[in-house]
Amino acid sequence: MVFKRRKPLGWGAWLREQVYPRGGFKRAIRYVTLRMRRLPDQPHRVARGVFAGSVIGFLPLPGLQFLAAWGAARLARGNVLAALLATFNTNPVTTPFFAVLAMTLGHWIMGIEAPLTGKYIGHAFAEAGHDLWFNFLALFGPEHTRWDGLIQFWHEIYVPYFIGALGPALLISGVAYYVTIPLVEAYQKARAATAHERGERRRKMRAKLAEAAGRLKRRSDGGDEPDDDGPGSP
pLDDT, tens digit, for every residue of 67-110? 999 999 999 998 888 888 888 887 777 788 888 899 999 999 99
Q: What is the pTM of this model?
A: 0.68
Residues recorded for the chain: 234
SS3 sequence, 87-111?
HHHCCCCCHHHHHHHHHHHHHHHHC
Instruction: Select the more confidently predicted residue: 24 or 41.
Output: 41
* DSSP 8-state class, residue 89: G
**Residues 36/155, Cβ–Cβ less than 8 Å:** no
**124-164 confidence digits (pLDDT tens):** 989 999 988 988 888 888 888 889 989 999 999 999 999 99
Give the mean model confidence (pLDDT) for residues 12-20: 49
* Residues 134, 165: Cα–Cα separation, whole Å: 30
Count of H-run helices and E-run strands, the chain: 9, 0
Phi-psi region of 24 (alpha: psi -120 to 50; beta: other; left: phi over 0): left
Quick one: pLDDT at residue 26? Answer: 52
Helix axes 43-58, 159-222, angle to 10 degrees: 150
